[in-house]
Structure 1
Amino acid sequence: MTDTLPPKTGQPLIQDYLRTLDSSPGVYRMLDAQGAVLYVGKARNLRARVSNYARDTGHTARIARMIRETCSMMFLTTRTETEALLLEQNLIKQLKPRYNVLLRDDKSFPNILVAKSHPFAQIKKHRGAKSEKGDYYGPFASGMAVNRTLNQLQRVFLLRNCTDSVFESRTRPCLMYQIKRCSAPCVGKISESDYAALVADAELFLQGKSTRVQADLADQMAAAAEAMEYERAAALRDRIKALTAVQSVQAINPRGVPEADIVALHMDSGQACVQVFFIRANQSWGNRDFYPRLGGAESADEVMQAFLLQFYDDKPPPRQILLSHPPEDPDLTAEVLSERAGRKVEVLTPQRGEKLELVANALRNARESLARRMSESATQLRLLAGLAEAFNLPGPPKRIEVYDNSHIMGTAPVGGMIVAGPEGWMKNQYRKFNIKGTEITPGDDFGMMREVLTRRFARLLKDDPDRQTEAWPDLLLIDGGAGQVSAVEGILTEMGVNDIPIIGVAKGVDRDHGKEEFHRPGARPMALRMNDPVLYFIQRLRDEAHRWAIGTHRARRTKQALANPLDDIPGVGAARKRALLAHFGSAKAVRGAGLADLQAVPGISATIAQTIHDFFNPGR
């Protein structure tokens, strides 16, 4: 009988791989015993790069731990180092390896869209793919920054923000015209050519040419006054005053930097904050802070390069990127970003002048933001430890999921899930569930909770049955008492999930805030003392779930209330819908109209009339 040798791991394993590698550029993956990817790296020379891991000494604690855990490796060769870098970033984004720097906030940034698909252009906020016809301006750091700018544009240029369907159905000016925020093109208060001139001025403003716009308005005002058109002169005067007010409240407006992103990195105690300021048209369009997940002892240049390549993976980079720290390979980074943008992108680390002042300001914000976050994280960790102690949990939870339902007498029912962890709210993990079950009795909270949890955990069991990712919760918090907890326990047991702690939060006998009772499967109800920080923490969790569920319910209810059945009829566009509403007065009247009545509407042919009639009377 012969003993089988244990499989090689760590440095002996890497030594064996070296025999099969050449000096080609490419990407390598290091995997653990379960096949999960530990790390993805790129190399100009695969053999030379991987040989570094085969050395006995010279590694940081993070790299040494990663090498010990490596049980297999995978390799992909590429033609150039640039291709290797692009492939590396794609794999990092897809696989999210434990030891790589990861950008966790990947939400898209909003833009301002001047939509040109209509003779009277609409101005609005836009997120996502730029598929709609028109001109895009951005990115802005937040929706609030976009809304503020849109408000300014409406005051100065009187552009419409209503949808095309609303525009087509108007018969008299809306409130925006009354408060001098719109020129009311929907009812002919302004000609198409004059409105186009307003749009052109607004676009000049968004391009940073507001001084030129102001001069043109002043010339028009003088001409109107000379022609004794005093009402028009007064309107132009009001627009000039509004534009002057906008210019006076602009934030940092660099004179010598027309278009750039300012990226500053501050690292402390194994954590990092990256502050990004957006400069467009010589104006600051806001800033956003990011907290990339570090694998261990990365250097600043390594973190900066990983951030840049992940941040600009799905958004176009500007012509200049001003950095507080140079990336690991500045030339290669600039080459990759230029290739993505389809034009030259400069990656600079300024040493003097206005650009250095902009970077210093961003760096100060990054340092202050990280200090605040570290202070909040320390408090959060103490609360999670207290929660574990109060409810005898195996350890401080890393992912708490809190569930709540919302409806009004059973209408527009929704379920909401919020997530919290060591770093606070994990808002990109929040989920909403439109209740779809037709067998659920209106107002049946138990039935709604069953549907929500069944959908949530069925997805988890499908996507990650072995629980290899961080998507699985280690504590469920339910807004309810013993009945809800028992129901949730039964639902999870049916699905084969019976090792996740469940806590139900119910109001006490007096239903007072602060006298909550806590219910757990197989345990008697308990309470926490009135001034316990853990009690306040649980209250905040429950209130956040309540806020999220109610907001989701309101949005669904509003959408249902504003829905027009005419929108769903094939072949009925804005003009025909307007004609139908003008003839019958309401969608309800259209629903009850006969075929002959429908054919009497101007613009409604016999074929369209039949389509409308069949839509409201299926099978007849």
Structure 2
Amino acid sequence: SRLGSYFSGPTESPKVRMILAKASRIEFVVTGSEKEALLLENQFIKRHKPPYNIKLRDDKDYICLKIDPSHPYPRLVMTRRIKADGSRYFGPYSSAQAVRDTLKWLQSIFPLRRCSDRELANRTKPCVFHQIGRCSAPRAGLISEEEYREIVEQAIKFLEGKATGLIRELKSKMQLAADNLEFERAAWIRDRIAAIEKTIEGQKIVAASFEDKDAVGIWREWGRVEVAVLSVRGGKLIDARSMGFVDRGWTDEEVIEALLQQYYSGRLVPDTVLLPVLPPNTAPFEEVLSERAGKPVRIAKPRAKEDVELVKMATENARELMYARRDREKDFEAMLERLKSRLRLPAPPRVIDAFDISTLFGTFSVGSRVRFTDGEPDRSFYRRYKVKSEAYDDTARMAEVLARYFERERDDMPDMILLDGGKGQLRAAERVRDSLGLRVPLVAIAKGRGEGEPDRFYIVGRANPVKLAAGSSEYRFLQRIRDEAHRFAISYHRKLRRKAGLASVLDEIDGIGPKRKRALLQKFRTVEGIG
């Protein structure tokens, strides 16, 4: 029906006019149901990246807490990936710091283990966290599996928003412990109750029902569209997220369809999604979301007063977040102009590729490339390089990595290349670049010479470093990019070292050939894991 509407008569939508002007033919695929068509459409959008489709980019990373109830001694861990693996996921959290703070608090109240499965398997004595009351030391025999499971269930109840019922349960257990003259246990439970009550005092109730809901709001202004999603869990507003993009004439219904397709891919799905407008057919979206959530999911316009207020609040958030985003973009544009001027660039550096080398005494030498587009990491362009030559120093290694990069990516050069290093790396990069006839600007960032000294920035054609005010937005921006390239290189370097260490041990064992060795490496990753 959507495609047919494009040919039903004159349209005012610039997007539709552009599509019709450029389209040469129509191809179609027959599917068995609307749900299958929706899933296939989503796959085609991801594969072909059509320029006239809405691409929603969340303004925050999606982080949640995960616990695996099937493990004898489950633990809470941070994760950015949601899988259908039987684990329970809780969130979303607005930042890594927010989830770390939550996890730290939970571990102080619910003393679940912190150590990894490998560490747990080898542990026989209580850890230091047990000494300060933040781990129940399950492998040291200080708590039974049933008692540990009880703590796990209490933590899950709290994360589900069932704090009131949990408090009643704990008060009952406290009274029972006191009646049995187990005063230490009663005092421990009393302290946990007090900590939980203190936490929930500051949480505002925005919904009388304890149903998990997402409320969506849309705001249009200045030729842009802002979509805000408010997450309500257990009756409490826990997060607000927004996505903004240039308005190309999409209707509100098309924006909502894109949201339902993209936003909940790899995210926790609530019981109800409240929308300001409904797509023409909600049934296939409800079916897909219900399948992902493992429970019935309802898509609806608000009717109850509290739901109407939630969508109204989401719309207000969309407006305010658009204004805030516009202010940030103005500040960002001004920063790019300052970088252009200070670093003598031909254009503002909207796209920056950064490189770093990681090595240990010349072994397992690797390089990394990260890309930042409009100030944000673009992970689809991240690359890892294993240094192939017997390069004797970081300068030669950087030259090898850049030569391979330039050869492969010469038709997709960024506005600027940032090198982790000093004059040596810059000169090596300049030689490689010039030998290939390229003109991409090069900048090197080197650590300060002494403790507390600011980083130095070098550009081609200037002997002395360019001074950027330490603490300025442009200074911190380039540091952030350099640190991300360094992190990416270090992670690859460590991975290769772990693999090599395990492989060398397995080579000494009779009866383990290349195929079995590869399977063991993929399964256990470490010698301790195999043991």
- TM class, shorter-length: 0.7 to 0.9
Larger mean CA deviation between 369-378 and 388-397 belongs to 388-397
- Which residue matches 1:545? 481
Q: Per-residue deviation at 1:299?
A: 2.7
- Counterpart CA distance in 1 for 2:422 and 2:500 is 40
- Counterpart CA distance in 1 for 2:174 and 2:503 is 43
Going from structure 1 to structure 2, the CA distance change for 1:131 and 1:66 (only over 3 Å counts) comes to: closer
Q: Which amino acid is the alignment partner of residue 243 of structure 1? A: I
The reply on whether 1:269 has 2:226 as its aligned counterpart is no
Q: Per-residue deviation at 1:321?
A: 0.4
User: Conserved in 2, the CA contact under 8 Å of 1:377 and 1:424?
Assistant: no
Please state whether the residue corresponding to 2:78 is helix, strand or coil. Answer: strand
Q: Which amino acid is the alignment partner of residue 373 of structure 1? A: R
Match of residue 367, structure 1, among 306, 316, 319: 319
- Counterpart CA distance in 2 for 1:407 and 1:397 is 29
- Which residue matches 1:602? none
Q: Which amino acid is the alignment partner of residue 171 of structure 1? A: T
Match of residue 197, structure 2, among 239, 244, 251: 244
Please state whether the residue corresponding to 2:112 is helix, strand or coil. Answer: coil
- Counterpart CA distance in 1 for 2:468 and 2:63 is 43
- Counterpart CA distance in 1 for 2:174 and 2:362 is 58
- Which residue matches 1:584? none
- Counterpart CA distance in 1 for 2:343 and 2:191 is 63
For structure 2, the residue ranges without an aligned partner over 5 or more in a row are: 511-526
Going from structure 1 to structure 2, the CA distance change for 1:177 and 1:412 (only over 3 Å counts) comes to: farther
Match of residue 446, structure 1, among 395, 399, 422: 395
1:33-44 alignment to 2 at 5 Å?
43=1
- Say which one has the larger Rg: 1
User: Conserved in 1, the CA contact under 8 Å of 2:217 and 2:276?
Assistant: yes
The reply on whether 1:171 has 2:124 as its aligned counterpart is yes
Please state whether the residue corresponding to 1:267 is helix, strand or coil. Answer: strand
User: Conserved in 2, the CA contact under 8 Å of 1:263 and 1:275?
Assistant: yes
- Counterpart CA distance in 2 for 1:183 and 1:388 is 56
User: Conserved in 1, the CA contact under 8 Å of 2:58 and 2:241?
Assistant: no
For structure 1, the residue ranges without an aligned partner over 5 or more in a row are: 1-42, 462-466, 571-590, 596-614
Q: Which amino acid is the alignment partner of residue 377 of structure 2? A: M
- Counterpart CA distance in 2 for 1:319 and 1:508 is 53
Report sequence identity in percent. Answer: 31
- Counterpart CA distance in 1 for 2:286 and 2:187 is 51
Q: Which amino acid is the alignment partner of residue 207 of structure 2? A: P
Please state whether the residue corresponding to 2:438 is helix, strand or coil. Answer: coil
Q: Per-residue deviation at 1:320?
A: 0.4
- Counterpart CA distance in 2 for 1:99 and 1:304 is 15
Going from structure 1 to structure 2, the CA distance change for 1:137 and 1:286 (only over 3 Å counts) comes to: same
Q: Deviations over 1:348-398 (max 9, x none)?
A: 232552223333333333222221221222233344355556667554444
The reply on whether 1:384 has 2:333 as its aligned counterpart is no
Q: Per-residue deviation at 1:306?
A: 1.2
Match of residue 488, structure 1, among 429, 439, 451: 429
Q: Per-residue deviation at 1:74?
A: 3.5
User: Conserved in 2, the CA contact under 8 Å of 1:302 and 1:328?
Assistant: no
- Which residue matches 2:438? 498
- Counterpart CA distance in 2 for 1:341 and 1:60 is 35
- Counterpart CA distance in 2 for 1:329 and 1:431 is 38
- Counterpart CA distance in 2 for 1:455 and 1:152 is 47
Match of residue 73, structure 1, among 20, 25, 30: 25
Q: How many residues are paired up?
A: 509
Please state whether the residue corresponding to 2:134 is helix, strand or coil. Answer: coil
Going from structure 1 to structure 2, the CA distance change for 1:72 and 1:485 (only over 3 Å counts) comes to: farther
Match of residue 304, structure 1, among 256, 265, 289: 256
- Counterpart CA distance in 1 for 2:106 and 2:358 is 37
- Counterpart CA distance in 2 for 1:235 and 1:319 is 35
Please state whether the residue corresponding to 1:279 is helix, strand or coil. Answer: strand
Q: Deviations over 1:168-197 (max 9, x none)?
A: 322321121112111111211112222222
User: Conserved in 1, the CA contact under 8 Å of 2:272 and 2:300?
Assistant: yes
Q: Which amino acid is the alignment partner of residue 447 of structure 1? A: A
Going from structure 1 to structure 2, the CA distance change for 1:330 and 1:104 (only over 3 Å counts) comes to: same
Please state whether the residue corresponding to 2:192 is helix, strand or coil. Answer: helix
Q: Deviations over 1:203-259 (max 9, x none)?
A: 232333322222222122222222222212211212222222232243556331421
1:136-535 alignment to 2 at 5 Å?
136-250=89-203, 252=205, 254-291=207-244, 293-294=245-246, 296-315=248-267, 317-327=269-279, 329-330=281-282, 333-338=285-290, 341=293, 343-385=295-337, 387-388=339-340, 395-405=347-357, 415-421=367-373, 423-426=374-377, 428=379, 431=382, 433=384, 435-437=386-388, 439-441=390-392, 444-454=393-403, 456-457=405-406, 460=409, 467=411, 472-480=413-421, 483-492=424-433, 498-504=438-444, 513=454, 516-519=457-460, 523=461
Q: Which amino acid is the alignment partner of residue 122 of structure 1? A: R
Larger mean CA deviation between 502-511 and 544-553 belongs to 502-511
Match of residue 113, structure 1, among 66, 71, 76: 66
User: Conserved in 1, the CA contact under 8 Å of 2:358 and 2:493?
Assistant: no
Q: Which has the higher contact order (CA 8 A, sep 6+)?
A: 2
Q: Deviations over 1:432-471 (max 9, x none)?
A: 6475446233xx221332344345456647xxxxx5xxx6
- Which residue matches 2:7? 51
Larger mean CA deviation between 432-441 and 166-175 belongs to 432-441
User: Conserved in 1, the CA contact under 8 Å of 2:371 and 2:381?
Assistant: yes
Q: Per-residue deviation at 1:102?
A: 0.8
Q: Which amino acid is the alignment partner of residue 171 of structure 2? A: A
- Counterpart CA distance in 2 for 1:509 and 1:171 is 46
User: Conserved in 1, the CA contact under 8 Å of 2:358 and 2:490?
Assistant: no
User: Conserved in 1, the CA contact under 8 Å of 2:336 and 2:348?
Assistant: yes
- Which residue matches 2:524? none
Please state whether the residue corresponding to 1:97 is helix, strand or coil. Answer: coil
Please state whether the residue corresponding to 1:122 is helix, strand or coil. Answer: coil
Q: Which amino acid is the alignment partner of residue 419 of structure 2? A: I
- Which residue matches 1:64? 17
Alpha-carbon RMSD across the aligned residues, in angstroms, is 4.2
- Counterpart CA distance in 1 for 2:298 and 2:502 is 51
- Counterpart CA distance in 2 for 1:440 and 1:299 is 57
Q: Which amino acid is the alignment partner of residue 432 of structure 2? A: I
Q: Which amino acid is the alignment partner of residue 78 of structure 2? A: K
Q: Which amino acid is the alignment partner of residue 396 of structure 2? A: G
Please state whether the residue corresponding to 2:242 is helix, strand or coil. Answer: strand
Q: Which amino acid is the alignment partner of residue 154 of structure 1? A: Q
Q: Deviations over 1:83-112 (max 9, x none)?
A: 444333322222222221112349984443
Q: Which amino acid is the alignment partner of residue 175 of structure 1? A: V
- Counterpart CA distance in 2 for 1:477 and 1:193 is 55
Please state whether the residue corresponding to 1:305 is helix, strand or coil. Answer: helix
User: Conserved in 1, the CA contact under 8 Å of 2:442 and 2:459?
Assistant: no
User: Conserved in 2, the CA contact under 8 Å of 1:402 and 1:541?
Assistant: no
Going from structure 1 to structure 2, the CA distance change for 1:71 and 1:127 (only over 3 Å counts) comes to: closer
Please state whether the residue corresponding to 1:266 is helix, strand or coil. Answer: strand
Going from structure 1 to structure 2, the CA distance change for 1:72 and 1:387 (only over 3 Å counts) comes to: farther
Q: Which amino acid is the alignment partner of residue 105 of structure 2? A: Q
User: Conserved in 1, the CA contact under 8 Å of 2:343 and 2:466?
Assistant: no
Q: Which amino acid is the alignment partner of residue 445 of structure 1? A: D
1:76-95 alignment to 2 at 5 Å?
76-79=28-31, 82-95=35-48
Please state whether the residue corresponding to 1:199 is helix, strand or coil. Answer: helix
Q: Per-residue deviation at 1:415?
A: 4.2
- Which residue matches 1:600? none
- Counterpart CA distance in 2 for 1:395 and 1:526 is 22
Please state whether the residue corresponding to 2:296 is helix, strand or coil. Answer: coil
User: Conserved in 2, the CA contact under 8 Å of 1:120 and 1:185?
Assistant: yes
- Counterpart CA distance in 1 for 2:448 and 2:78 is 45
